[in-house]
C-alpha cells in the first residue's frame, strides 16, 4: 500500500497510474473550459451574474466535448496505428 488519503483509504501502487490519468483528464477538461468556453473571463458583480456566466460556460463545455466525441478520430503523425 502506497498512499493514505485524508479519509484513511489506502490504494495499492498498481492503481496510481490510473489515478494519475484520471487527474490529467480532469485538468484537460478545466483547461478547455477556461480557454475555449470562457470560464475564466467573467467580471461580474453579483451572484446572479456569476451563476449565469458559469452555467453558460459549462453548457458550452458540454457542447464542445460532445462535438469532439462525435468527430472521427485520426491517428496522430508518427503514432503506431492507434489513437489514445
**Model confidence over 26-82: pLDDT tens digits?**
888 888 888 888 888 888 889 999 899 989 988 998 898 898 888 887 766 665 544
Report which of residues 10 and 39 the model is more confident about: 39
In a domain, 84, yes or no: no
* Residue 75 resides in a domain: no
Q: Is residue 78 part of a domain?
A: no
Q: Does the residue 79 lie in any domain?
A: no
Query: What is residue 1's predicted lDDT score, i.e. its pLDDT?
Result: 44
Q: Is 53 exposed, middle or buried (0-12, 13-18, 19+ CB in 10 A)?
A: middle
C-alpha cell belonging to residue 25: 483528464
Query: pLDDT class for 7, splitting at 50, 70, 90?
Result: low
Per-residue CA distances from 29 to 2, 3, 17, 46 (Å)? 27, 26, 19, 26
Q: Is residue 57 part of a domain?
A: yes
- pTM (predicted TM-score): 0.56
Number of domains in the chain: 1
**pLDDT confidence of residue 5:** 55
- Per the structure, the complete domain to which residue 45 belongs is given by 3-70
Amino acid at each position: 500500500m502506497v498512499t493514505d488519503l485524508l479519509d484513511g483509504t489506502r490504494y495499492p501502487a498498481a492503481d496510481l497510474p490510473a489515478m494519475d490519468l484520471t487527474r490529467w483528464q480532469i485538468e484537460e477538461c478545466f483547461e478547455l473550459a477556461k480557454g475555449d468556453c470562457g470560464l475564466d473571463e467573467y467580471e461580474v458583480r453579483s451572484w446572479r451574474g456569476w451563476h449565469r456566466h458559469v452555467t453558460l460556460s459549462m453548457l458550452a463545455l458540454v457542447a464542445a466535448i460532445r462535438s469532439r466525441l462525435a468527430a472521427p478520430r485520426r491517428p496522430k503523425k508518427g503514432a503506431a496505428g492507434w489513437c489514445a
